């Protein structure tokens, strides 16, 4: 074909036809039939992969539930309301309750760590929400572009820094600083009003509830700030300009127009942040004191959370020859996972109604 | 704007307080980031020895070569497993799931499950990995158990990132590929996926940064190993950088503290490199996209 056309135009000399490359016809047929059906590969690989997270989710719940069921039968309702954590005598005789083997004298009550989880996450939300919304507002003001860039990078790094490093900073730098200089000041100067008694009393050494709350706040700020920033950017300019034309100040535009416009989105982002705070493990284990059967009397005292208990107690749970303590920890994990499923589904539901926003990937404010 | 713009004194004060509060909030976000990084660097640098990079851990002293190599092996494994599953899942949800009778995109349930999985705490995944893989399947503390748990943890991020990147590819590209007579699979690979590459690579880098900094899911699946990583998937624990930080920071020995701080610094450098690489890719692809649009 090439030679013919070359001869017809007359200019170029005819090119010698290349000898056909030798190929194994069978291999060639297999290869071409594979590539001809490439869309099946994408389709089925995609179907299986897209189903993988759902399968993992179901398996996670099932494995924990199966492992925890015997512990549920022994611990009963005391598990949710009890305030003691006694692994029993590991050297004594194995006893049976409802057919489940366990050491003599076990008594597991998770109420203190449940309270600790809720308290520390609540403090984290109280701190993180105003800071995140405020920082997002700072970006909507007429600030130089490089300040916006700095915030973008800061949030990204904050979202990406390993929690063990934030825990290290909280335990070695922030905690001692607060306990030496800040907590005593607060404890000595709060007024003697009934509601403020939690802010009084011994301030400890920097490990405890308030320190955990502050560290948790730092870890959920990226989630709330990035979502709020995106939401603010979606508020149409006309209502805001209208407000300014009526003579409203920036504060009034923010409070009367911007925030009401995206309120449910901010609530959704806050619930997402709550989910992260409830499940955060390593940093809290490093700054809370990781106690098991103690509810802190004030905001400074040492305490524990469910997630921190899981990571700090599993080692010693191996000592229990009947495996009962591991089952109890699985029960604790079931409580945490169920709470988080509810919280996350709730957050999805709120956010879906406002627009399709996702978990911030760590990139992009 | 006249000098007495907010008409009353109260409004002037409220607005000034608002502006000051937003700037303070900005400072409260940026300050701790600088402080955390400076704290890690400040603790590690005074006692830094380069031999940390080339010797293995001995008890609570020695070096961190085993942990660095272990972390790199784990990252590579996560890249392969979570990368393949996550990207394929994202491709399916964005491109192949199709539409139902009412014209709505299918796969909403799987997408919701993916996002809910992202909210499951890593320690719960680690506990399941320990109970199911390490004990029930008799894998022992092993590389594979750690990889499976880490992958399950980061797959939602990769799937989500891939899906978002693919949705930003203009429909014209798909139509163009089809008009040129490409088969659907070929067009997907050569045209659509290629255009979405920056977004996909970014989500992979973010996933690596997250999994490199994880501690809780690894403690009871990978455990800890003071020798160089071995080519074994089962019954062979493996070291990683977060373990010395988490374990050695409150040991009553200066050697252990220095090792923890060194590990923290190396970890920080690895994570920051991954984040910076992701940011550079995003910036470059955005600049390219804007230049093309004009």
B145 three-state secondary structure: helix
Q: Considering only alpha carbons, which residue of chain B is nearest residue A250? A: B15
Strand A100-104 versus strand A89-97 pairing type: antiparallel
Would you call A53 and B156 a contact, using CB atoms and an 8 Å cutoff?
yes
Residue A165 lies in a domain: yes
pLDDT of amino acid A274: 92
pLDDT at B104 over 80: no
Q: Which of A157, A115, A281, A287 is nearest to A215 (CA)?
A: A287
Q: Which residue of B has its CA nearest to A362?
A: B206
Which of A29-33, A308-312, B126-130 is the least confident region? A29-33
Residue A261 belongs to some domain of the structure? yes
CB B121 to CB A340 under 8 A? yes
**Domain extent listing, chain B:** 77-95+106-293
- In chain A, which ranges are E strands? 85-86, 89-97, 100-104, 107-108
Determine which of A185-199, A331-345, B10-24, B223-237 has the lowest per-residue pLDDT on average. Answer: A185-199
Residue pair B119/B214 in contact by the 8 Å Cβ criterion: no
Residues 99-158 of B with CB under 8 A from A: 107, 109-110, 112-128, 130-132, 152, 155-157
Tokens of A333: 């994990």
How large is the average pLDDT for residues B127-156?
A: 93
**Is the predicted pLDDT of residue A1 greater than 70, yes or no?**
no
What's the domain count of chain A?
1
Name every residue whose Cβ is closer than 8 Å to that of residue A329 and which is 6 or more positions away in sequence.
A309, A310, A313, A314, A317, B127
What is the CB neighbour count within 10 angstroms for residue B279? 18
**Backbone torsions φ then ψ of B251, nearest 5 degrees:** -70, 145
**Is position A170 within any domain?**
yes
Q: What is the mean pLDDT of chain A?
A: 83
Query: What's the CATH superfamily of B77-95+106-293?
Result: MetI-like (1.10.3720.10)
Is A364 contained in some domain?
Answer: no
Q: Establish if A72 belongs to a structural domain.
A: no
Rounded distance, CA A34 to CA B102, Å? 34
Task: List pLDDT tens digits, range A110-167.
Answer: 899 999 999 999 999 999 999 999 988 887 776 788 888 888 888 888 888 999 999 9
Beta strands in chain B (DSSP E): 57-58, 61-62
Closest CA to B14 of A228, A263, A255: A255
**A100: its two tokens:** 């489940």
pLDDT value at B229 more than 50: yes
The answer for A247, left when phi > 0, alpha when psi is -120 to 50, beta otherwise, is left
pLDDT in tens, A186-234: 888 877 777 777 777 777 788 889 999 999 999 999 889 888 888 888 8
Residue in the block written with tokens 């309301």: A81
Chain B contact set for A163 (CB, 8 A): 213, 215
Is it the case that residue A355 has pLDDT exceeding 50? no
Q: Looking at the domain assignment, is residue A324 inside a domain?
A: no
The C-alpha angle A124, A279, B67, rounded to 5 degrees, equals 110
Inter-residue contact B258 to B47 (CB < 8 Å): yes
Q: Which has the closest alpha carbon to B138: B230, B233, B211?
A: B233
- For A49-107, what is each residue's pLDDT tens digit? 999 999 999 999 999 999 999 988 888 888 888 888 888 777 777 888 877 888 887 88
Nearest 5°: the CA angle A352, A356, A362 is 115
Backbone angles phi, psi at A91, to 5 degrees: -95, -15
Do B91 and A155 lie within an 8 Å CB cutoff? no
B264/A168 touch (CB, cutoff 8 Å), yes or no: yes
Q: What is the CATH number of the domain that holds A225?
A: 1.10.3720.10
CB-CB: which of A163, A251, A281 is closest to B18? A251
Q: Which residues of A touch B39 (CB under 8 A)?
A: 168-169, 172-173
Find the domain containing A266 and state its range: 112-316+335-354
Backbone angles phi, psi at B223, to 5 degrees: 55, -125
In this prediction, residues A37-54 reach a mean pLDDT of 89
Q: Which of B97-111, B138-152, B190-204, B220-234 has the lowest mean pLDDT?
A: B97-111
Facing A46 at nearest CB: one of B91, B160, B214? B91
ipTM attached to this prediction? 0.89
Backbone CA torsion sign across A85, A90, A96, A100: positive
DSSP state of A102: E
Q: A48 and B206 in contact by Cβ < 8 A?
A: no
Rounded Cα distance between A311 and A164, Å, is 13
Antiparallel, parallel or unpaired: β A89-97 and B57-58 = unpaired
- Residue A21, pLDDT score: 65
What are the pLDDT digits (tens) for A230-281? 888 888 888 888 888 888 888 888 888 888 888 888 888 898 899 999 999 9
Is B84's Cβ below 8 Å from some Cβ in A?
Answer: yes
In angstroms, rounded to a whole number, what is the distance separating the alpha carbons of residues A12 and A352?
66
């Amino acid at each position: 074909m090439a030679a013919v056309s070359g001869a017809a135009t007359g200019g170029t000399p005819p090119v010698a036809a290349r000898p056909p490359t030798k190929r194994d016809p069978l291999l060639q047929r297999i290869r071409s039939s594979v590539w001809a059906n490439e869309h099946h590969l994408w389709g089925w690989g995609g179907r299986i992969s897209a189903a993988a997270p759902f399968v993992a989710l179901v398996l996670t719940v099932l494995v924990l539930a199966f492992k925890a069921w015997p512990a549920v039968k022994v611990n009963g309702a005391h598990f949710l309301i009890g305030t003691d954590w006694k692994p029993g005598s590991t050297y004594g005789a194995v006893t049976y309750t409802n057919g489940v083997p366990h050491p003599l004298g076990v008594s597991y009550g998770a109420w203190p760590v449940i309270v600790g989880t809720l308290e520390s996450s609540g403090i984290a939300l109280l701190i993180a929400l105003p800071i995140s919304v405020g920082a997002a507002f700072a970006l909507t003001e007429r600030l130089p572009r490089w300040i916006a860039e700095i915030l973008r990078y800061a949030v990204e790094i904050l979202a990406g820094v390993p929690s063990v490093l934030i825990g290290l900073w909280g335990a070695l730098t922030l905690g001692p600083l607060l306990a030496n200089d800040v907590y005593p000041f607060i404890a000595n100067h709060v007024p003697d009003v009934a509601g403020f008694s939690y802010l009084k009393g011994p301030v400890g050494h920097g490990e405890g509830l308030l320190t955990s709350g502050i560290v948790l706040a730092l870890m959920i700020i990226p989630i709330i700030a990035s979502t709020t920033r995106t939401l603010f950017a979606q508020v149409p300019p006309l209502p805001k300009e209208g407000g300014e034309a009526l003579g409203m100040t920036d504060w009034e535009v923010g409070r009367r127009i911007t925030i009401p416009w995206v309120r449910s989105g901010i609530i959704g982002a806050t619930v997402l942040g709550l989910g992260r705070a409830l499940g955060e493990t390593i940093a809290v284990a490093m700054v809370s004191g990781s106690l098991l059967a103690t509810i802190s009397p004030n905001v400074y005292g040492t305490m524990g959370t469910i997630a921190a208990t899981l990571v700090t107690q599993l080692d010693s749970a191996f000592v229990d020859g009947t495996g009962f303590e591991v089952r109890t920890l699985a029960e604790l994990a079931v409580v945490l996972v169920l709470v988080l499923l509810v919280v996350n589904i709730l957050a999805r539901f709120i956010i879906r109604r406002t627009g399709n926003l996702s978990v911030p990937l760590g990139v992009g404010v | 704007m006249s000098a007495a713009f907010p008409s009353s004194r109260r409004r002037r004060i409220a607005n000034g307080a608002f502006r000051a509060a937003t700037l303070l909030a900005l400072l409260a976000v940026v300050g701790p980031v600088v402080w955390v990084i400076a704290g890690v660097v400040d603790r590690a640098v005074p006692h830094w020895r380069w031999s940390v990079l080339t010797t293995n851990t001995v008890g609570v002293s020695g070096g961190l070569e085993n942990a660095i190599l272990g972390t790199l092996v784990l990252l590579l494994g996560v890249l392969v497993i979570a990368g393949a599953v996550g990207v394929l899942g994202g491709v399916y949800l964005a491109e192949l799931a199709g539409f139902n009778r009412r014209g709505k995109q299918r796969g909403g349930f799987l997408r919701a499950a993916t996002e809910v999985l992202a909210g499951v705490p890593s320690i719960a995944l680690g506990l399941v990995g320990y109970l199911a893989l390490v004990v029930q399947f008799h894998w022992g503390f092993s590389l594979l158990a750690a990889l499976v748990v880490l992958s399950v943890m980061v797959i939602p991020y990769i799937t989500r990132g891939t899906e978002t990147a693919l949705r930003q590819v203009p429909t014209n590209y798909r139509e163009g590929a089809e008009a040129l007579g490409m088969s659907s699979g070929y067009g997907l690979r050569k045209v659509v996926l290629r255009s979405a590459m920056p977004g996909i690579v970014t989500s992979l880098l973010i996933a690596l940064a997250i999994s490199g900094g994880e501690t809780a899911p690894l403690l009871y699946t990978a455990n800890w190993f003071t020798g160089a990583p071995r080519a074994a998937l089962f019954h062979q624990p493996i070291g990683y950088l977060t373990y010395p930080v988490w374990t050695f920071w409150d040991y009553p020995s200066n050697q252990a503290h220095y090792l923890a701080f060194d590990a923290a610094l190396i970890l920080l450098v690895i994570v920051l490199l991954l984040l910076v690489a992701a940011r550079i890719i995003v910036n470059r692809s955005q600049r390219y996209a804007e230049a093309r649009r004009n």
